[in-house]
Chain A
Amino acid sequence: MSKENYIEEIRPHDSAYKHVSGYAEYTDDIQEPKGTLYGAIGLSKKAHAIIKKIDLTEVKKSKGVISIVTYNDIPGRNDVGPVFKGDPIFTKNKVEFYGQPLFAVAATSTELARKAVLKAKILYRDLKPIITIKEALNKKNFLFKPKKIKKGNPSKKIKTSKNSLKGNFTTGSQEHFYLEGQAAFVIPKEDDNLLVYTSTQHPSETQQLIAKMLNQKSNSVNVVVRRIGGGFGGKETNFMTACICALLAKKIGKPVKLRLDRDDDIILTGKRHEFFSEYEVGFNNDGVIQGLKLNLSSNCGMSPDLSAAINERALLHLDNAYYISDIEATNYLCKTNICTSTAFRGFGGNQGMMVIENIIDNISRYLKKDPLEIRKKNFYQNSKKNITHYGMSIQDNVINEIFRKLEKKSNYKKRYLKIKKFNEKNKFKKKGIAITPVKFGISFTTVHLNQAGALVHIYTDGSVYLNHGGIEMGQGTHTKIAQLVANSFGLPYNLVHISSTNTSKVPNTSASAASSTTDLNGAAALNAVSKIKLNLENFIKKKYKIHNHEAVYKDQYIVFGKQNFEFKKIIHEAYLNRVSLSSSGFYSTPKINFDKKKFKGRPFLYFCYGAAVSEVTIDTLTGENVLERVDILHDAGKPINPALELGQIEGGFVQGQGWLTIEELNWKPNGQITTFSPSTYKIPAVSDIPKKFNVEIFKDGLNKEKVVNKAKTTGEPPLMLAMSVFYAIKDAVASVGNYKISPTINAPATPERILMSINKIKNQLENKNGR
């Protein structure tokens, strides 16, 4: 691609018309053939117990029930763990979390199936559950051996530093709350084949797990996904629904639909990892970190799932945008009796970044300096201080520039002073402001996952059909990849048609995850395009005796110097001359390598950068708060479709805001989750968003690496822009003690946490005055 040929074209999401008119089809919307049955899953009512007896007599008798499946019906692998085992489809004799699947039924309607499963009589022998990180740490209940990473000699550095601080910090769990719950629809076909429609981010893994469960080959299972109603990582694993649906369909020999209702979906599927960190940091009088020691523990739930990779990404993002010369971190992956923790936008990176941002904030408060200054002092630089704690040299750093621009654009300095004045005058309402950076590494840290495939056909009328391995989950990957392909062929967008993601079209795909769907699949699609182009060009050059000219594809013509060939006509001509007009494409990310054991290498192809300024007002009598204004400057490289990227930035920010302010999951000590529906679990609604919301894409953005369109992904990184909201709240709380006492507050900063943090400061003030 030549430098001038960046796309940067705003167009609506490819399904926008269908979204607004109700014609966009999701798994549960597919019209069923006659005879289709409907499933429901029977869940455990204990978090940790031995199953003494499962009595399904009443379930069998229940109206409309056709069939029941238990672990006895699984001929093959009874596990949906993607990397490690540990996620039984139906548990055999031990229950490890409240809501664990025990059996499933198929009935003549969804309502009847759901009524039936409630009639099971299960006899348990209770075991003591472990629910919290602290319990797991005390009992040393870990999924893996604790992992230690080290660079330099932080203990010594902390000792010799002018200042040091100790503390701990927690960031909470989060439920994905994709609006479309988990759903699958499986149709048995001849030769034991299964056609599987399912709401997943990972069709290939679904295919493989169903095949393994049934002791069949992968070539007998075809997984098709047109679109999913949100994923956010919650459909990256969680293969339970599709597997159970396939098991029912296989046993009965009839199509089966299985859709979890919202409660079951939240109860039984994974969530974000809660992280607890304890730190000791040494720093000089300028606030520059000189040594850092950390214990980093996460609540992984009952199984490994993706926890190893998620904790690894947390370790890889402990630096955020800051150079830390000497660091040591020990990582504990706690096994507990709650549903497994899983992928969620940010994938541990955000939790790691919150750890260091909290430390930086506390350093600033200790030194009584504006946190902005301390952040800047610690930033990675371009030629020095540019090697990460895992030994990667950062080549594309723009955080200093972005920060400078945003500081100015948002009028930070003036507002900072104004807020201090406001707080002097107001006793009960307090304001706070914070600016925070984002640096987020792009690539799967498991190197082999960084590959993608595509399949491109041109039909004789000149229309293009495109398949790739990516899942359309709202992010607009189909739109952007169609834009790339259309642009590369010099065709109008509407001549390129992207259809369902389909394991029979593109095999062995990676999950649509790690923000890299468009980077990987877009490149694979362009690879397929280039192969077809080569066929075409060779044909034209030979037939029309063209030498010394490069082909240019523009406005539905292929141009060689002064010779023009109308695309549609030349395609038909090529067909008549027996030229292949179809090709697969492949891409594997270059340059990356990472030694997981030594924790060294280049795990990321590139970094995404951004920064946000948030201003809040809090009510010191109730903890209620309002987000007054947010300014964002975010690096999207050369965005293919700026409107879609803007959507990702804003949406990611609000999702992060939810994680850090109002979204709170709650488990009883016995392991029963109490927050499993929108009445008890609150994601941001329309009044939560910033009153003023100024979002800008960094105009000088450019991906230095060879990535499609020189774009930078906007999938996960914007979530972390919301860190600024949390630290603005903390800043407002700090004003209660006239900025002399550093507040202690964990995330999410709910009204209750805010009030309690304020009270703590008030008590400290009283104690001081009392003395």
Chain B
Amino acid sequence: MISNTVKFLLNDKILEINNPDPNQTILNYIRTELKKTGTKEGCAEGGCGACTVVIGELASGQIKYSAINSCISFVPFLNGKQLLIVEDLVSKNGNLHPVQDAMVKFHGSQCGFCTPGFVMSLFSMFKNNKSYNSELIKDSISGNLCRCTGYRPIIDAAKSLNKINKNDEFSKSKNKIVKLLKRINSKKIYIKNEDKTFFSPKTIKDLKNIIKKNSNFNFLSGGTDLSLKVTKERKEISSIINLKEIKELDFIKINKNYIEVGAATSLTKFENQIKKYYQDFYAVLKRYGSVQIRNVGTIGGNIATASPIGDTLPILLSLNAEILIESPNKRKVLPINNFFIGYRKTKLKKNEFIRSIKIPLFKKNIFKAFKISKRFDDDISSICGSFNFEIKNSKINQAYIAFGGMSAVPKRAKACEAILRNKPLTINTFVKAKDYLEKDLNPIGDMRASKEYRLEVAKNLLIKCFLEMNTKKLTRVI
């Protein structure tokens, strides 16, 4: 069954939109059509969090809540889901939700414009966790900017939730919502609005059929990058194929030798798995973007976009990941090291999509990754460096080193790798090797960092690797 209707819950009411404009953002829909103005536009690029709303979805019989940026998600995203906006948190008799109440009590709002976004981020944290430590609180609101308070009162408000009864109005209405969500359980959709189309297949088989019949489409796999075409460049995306509703693309498989991640797996889901194997990968992912971004952004999307500032790319390069690519009638495997060919250009052909990414588990290797940016939270890397060393008998047997954020393409540092190979694990080895990075890298200078800084830090990261391997202690201040 194909539907042309986006069906979703606005809190506890079923809403249906026939053939919506597939380029309309959820924020725009909320403000101009629902006429609810609590959700604000601060930047229209997912960088400030003022537009944060919470999405409820069924996950093994429970409702899983995710904060997202409504300014960079399009209306069809809502299909089959529950949308919660800040006004919905106030109970029918006007009582504030505990999260809202805490924000009032701890003076968490001043001008108030960012406040609804903070409330929604904290609400999703409140619902998804049992207790809230500093790390969780900071992560939960790292994608929300406040220019007035300096955040301290908001953190205190969040901490106070530890003492609050978790049984809120939403727990009480849970069964009803679960039933409703099951009732609207999403079908595959095909929207046609004027000259714009939007496909959202549910299976790979469907996907292949759509690919066969269409050309000139854009894949949407989270859309934290693609949507900016509409919200920033003011262009239209005439044909979209959404990959995020395909369950076969949303999985994590782990065996002895590798982790395989479905291309449409969200970064939030992935980070929790990778943590056990590559702690630094996890640490970089935490700073990859805000929770709102990581909740919708996918690993496949990050790879296919091939942005030089995509933080997973240098890491996957140094881990020698493999990309499983499919088209309607073919399957192939490409090492990621052969995948990127230019600025935002990959070897993916028009009718091909990424099915999954296989990340080898180098259990004996030493893996290190560093993200350097002006700001800790939600910033774009000036340099993202990833290092994978195989050490045998105090000798470097193999070294896989890659950098992102430096130039048009994320890149391996092959000259440096070569000079390190078969050398003893000493400071001299690394001091000598770091100069070879000048051969490997030709960084750009821009508003984030100068050419000189980028190159120097890249070299210093190599030294940091040695120091950390030598002392078995981290050298980082953040």
Asked if B267 is an interface residue, CB under 8 A from chain A, the answer is no
**Who on chain B is nearest to A25 by CB?**
B37
Asked if A19 is an interface residue, CB under 8 A from chain B, the answer is yes
**Residue pair B457, A621 in contact (C-beta under 8 Å):** yes
Enumerate chain A residues within 8 angstroms of B96, measured Cβ to Cβ: 17, 20-21
**Residue pair B100, A229 in contact (C-beta under 8 Å):** no
Which of A157-165, A348-356, A750-758 participates in binding chain B? A750-758
**Residue pair A662, B152 in contact (C-beta under 8 Å):** no
**B residues 56-113 in Cβ contact with A at 8 Å:** 85-87, 89-90, 96, 100-101, 103-105, 107-113
Shortest distance in angstroms between A740's beta carbon and chain B's nearest beta carbon?
23
Asked if A707 is an interface residue, CB under 8 A from chain B, the answer is no
B457 touches which of A16, A26, A689, A755 (Cβ 8 Å): A755
Given contacts A12-B104, A23-B38, whether A685 and B116 have CB atoms under 8 Å apart is: no
Asked if B258 is an interface residue, CB under 8 A from chain A, the answer is no
Shortest distance in angstroms between B73's beta carbon and chain A's nearest beta carbon?
16
**Residue pair B142, A227 in contact (C-beta under 8 Å):** no
Instruction: State in angstroms the CA–CA spacing of A242 and B109 once bound together.
Output: 26
B152 touches which of A17, A644, A650, A680 (Cβ 8 Å): A650
**Who on chain A is nearest to B228 by CB?**
A679
Enumerate chain A residues within 8 angstroms of B447, measured Cβ to Cβ: 664, 666, 674-675, 680
Given contacts A179-B147, A751-B374, whether A227 and B89 have CB atoms under 8 Å apart is: no
Asked if B413 is an interface residue, CB under 8 A from chain A, the answer is no
**Residue pair A178, B116 in contact (C-beta under 8 Å):** no
Enumerate chain B residues within 8 angstroms of A751, measured Cβ to Cβ: 372, 374, 382
Instruction: State in angstroms the CA–CA spacing of A693 and B134 once bound together.
Output: 14
**Who on chain B is nearest to A109 by CB?**
B32
Shortest distance in angstroms between B414's beta carbon and chain A's nearest beta carbon?
23
Given contacts A621-B464, A683-B147, whether A429 and B36 have CB atoms under 8 Å apart is: no
Which of B2-10, B42-50, B389-397 participates in binding chain A? B42-50
**Residue pair A476, B44 in contact (C-beta under 8 Å):** no
Shortest distance in angstroms between B177's beta carbon and chain A's nearest beta carbon?
20
Given contacts A21-B89, A179-B113, whether A262 and B375 have CB atoms under 8 Å apart is: no
B380 touches which of A20, A227, A653, A679 (Cβ 8 Å): A679
A677 touches which of B28, B45, B150 (Cβ 8 Å): B45
**Who on chain B is nearest to A679 by CB?**
B47
Instruction: State in angstroms the CA–CA spacing of A625 and B90 once bound together.
Output: 40
**Residue pair A22, B43 in contact (C-beta under 8 Å):** no
Name the prevailing secondary structure of the B interface residues. Answer: loop
Enumerate chain A residues within 8 angstroms of B374, measured Cβ to Cβ: 662, 664, 682, 750-751
Instruction: State in angstroms the CA–CA spacing of A655 and B50 once bound together.
Output: 18
Q: Which of A114, A179, A262 is most buried by chain B, counting CB atoms within 10 A of its CB?
A: A179
Asked if B446 is an interface residue, CB under 8 A from chain A, the answer is yes
Q: How would residues 652 to 676 of chain A score, 1 for a CB under 8 Å from any chain B CB and 0 otherwise?
A: 1111000000101010000000110
Asked if B475 is an interface residue, CB under 8 A from chain A, the answer is yes
Asked if A537 is an interface residue, CB under 8 A from chain B, the answer is no
Total inter-chain residue pairs, C-beta < 8 Å: 248
**Who on chain A is nearest to B50 by CB?**
A179
Given contacts A18-B112, A679-B47, whether A644 and B107 have CB atoms under 8 Å apart is: yes
**B residues 1-55 in Cβ contact with A at 8 Å:** 28, 32, 35-45, 47-48, 50
**A residues 12-40 in Cβ contact with B at 8 Å:** 12-13, 15-26, 28-29, 31
Q: Which of B35, B113, B380 is most buried by chain A, counting CB atoms within 10 A of its CB?
A: B113
Shortest distance in angstroms between A36's beta carbon and chain B's nearest beta carbon?
11
**A residues 180-226 in Cβ contact with B at 8 Å:** 180-181
**Residue pair B112, A651 in contact (C-beta under 8 Å):** no
Instruction: State in angstroms the CA–CA spacing of A626 and B476 once bound together.
Output: 10
Instruction: State in angstroms the CA–CA spacing of A655 and B146 once bound together.
Output: 10
Shortest distance in angstroms between B40's beta carbon and chain A's nearest beta carbon?
7
Enumerate chain B residues within 8 angstroms of A114, measured Cβ to Cβ: 234
Enumerate chain A residues within 8 angstroms of B109, measured Cβ to Cβ: 13, 15-16, 19-20, 474
**Residue pair A752, B477 in contact (C-beta under 8 Å):** no
**Who on chain A is nearest to B42 by CB?**
A179
**A residues 38-66 in Cβ contact with B at 8 Å:** none
**B residues 212-236 in Cβ contact with A at 8 Å:** 232, 234
Enumerate chain B residues within 8 angstroms of A622, measured Cβ to Cβ: 370, 372, 457, 460-461, 464
**Residue pair A262, B463 in contact (C-beta under 8 Å):** no
Asked if A529 is an interface residue, CB under 8 A from chain B, the answer is no
The count of residues in chain B whose C-beta lies closer than 8 Å to any C-beta of chain A is 83
Instruction: State in angstroms the CA–CA spacing of A644 and B153 once bound together.
Output: 11
**Who on chain B is nearest to A753 by CB?**
B453
Instruction: State in angstroms the CA–CA spacing of A654 and B429 once bound together.
Output: 43
Shortest distance in angstroms between B433's beta carbon and chain A's nearest beta carbon?
15
Instruction: State in angstroms the CA–CA spacing of A114 and B233 once bound together.
Output: 10
Enumerate chain A residues within 8 angstroms of B40, measured Cβ to Cβ: 26, 179-180, 229
Instruction: State in angstroms the CA–CA spacing of A89 and B382 once bound together.
Output: 38
Asked if A445 is an interface residue, CB under 8 A from chain B, the answer is no
Enumerate chain A residues within 8 angstroms of B426, measured Cβ to Cβ: none
Asked if A387 is an interface residue, CB under 8 A from chain B, the answer is no
Asked if B377 is an interface residue, CB under 8 A from chain A, the answer is yes
Asked if A82 is an interface residue, CB under 8 A from chain B, the answer is no
Given contacts A26-B113, A686-B138, A686-B377, whether A653 and B150 have CB atoms under 8 Å apart is: yes
Shortest distance in angstroms between A180's beta carbon and chain B's nearest beta carbon?
4
Shortest distance in angstroms between A735's beta carbon and chain B's nearest beta carbon?
14
Enumerate chain A residues within 8 angstroms of B234, measured Cβ to Cβ: 111, 114-115, 118
**Who on chain A is nearest to B375 by CB?**
A682
Enumerate chain A residues within 8 angstroms of B101, measured Cβ to Cβ: 20
**Residue pair B115, A19 in contact (C-beta under 8 Å):** yes
A679 touches which of B35, B45, B147, B449 (Cβ 8 Å): B45
**Residue pair B43, A677 in contact (C-beta under 8 Å):** yes
**Who on chain A is nearest to B87 by CB?**
A22
Instruction: State in angstroms the CA–CA spacing of A756 and B453 once bound together.
Output: 8
**Residue pair A178, B38 in contact (C-beta under 8 Å):** no
**Residue pair B142, A686 in contact (C-beta under 8 Å):** yes
Enumerate chain B residues within 8 angstroms of A695, measured Cβ to Cβ: 152
Asked if A84 is an interface residue, CB under 8 A from chain B, the answer is no
**Residue pair A15, B112 in contact (C-beta under 8 Å):** yes
Shortest distance in angstroms between B13's beta carbon and chain A's nearest beta carbon?
17
Shortest distance in angstroms between B34's beta carbon and chain A's nearest beta carbon?
12
Instruction: State in angstroms the CA–CA spacing of A408 and B216 once bound together.
Output: 69
**B residues 109-130 in Cβ contact with A at 8 Å:** 109-116, 119
Enumerate chain B residues within 8 angstroms of A666, measured Cβ to Cβ: 447
Asked if B376 is an interface residue, CB under 8 A from chain A, the answer is yes
Instruction: State in angstroms the CA–CA spacing of A102 and B143 once bound together.
Output: 35
**Residue pair A647, B107 in contact (C-beta under 8 Å):** yes
Q: How would residues 146 to 187 of chain A score, 1 for a CB under 8 Å from any chain B CB and 0 otherwise?
A: 000000000000000000000000000000111111000000
List 20 A-B pairs, Cβ < 8 Å. A13-B107, A19-B103, A20-B96, A20-B109, A20-B115, A26-B40, A177-B147, A179-B50, A232-B147, A262-B42, A473-B111, A624-B372, A625-B478, A650-B153, A651-B149, A664-B447, A677-B45, A688-B375, A750-B374, A752-B453
A-B interface, 7 closest residue pairs, ranked by CB to CB distance from nearest: A22-B38, A474-B111, A229-B113, A678-B47, A19-B112, A654-B150, A474-B110
Q: A20-B86, A20-B101, A680-B447 are in contact. List 11 more A-B contacts (CB 8 A).
A: A19-B115, A26-B37, A114-B234, A181-B42, A261-B44, A617-B477, A619-B475, A650-B149, A650-B153, A680-B380, A689-B151
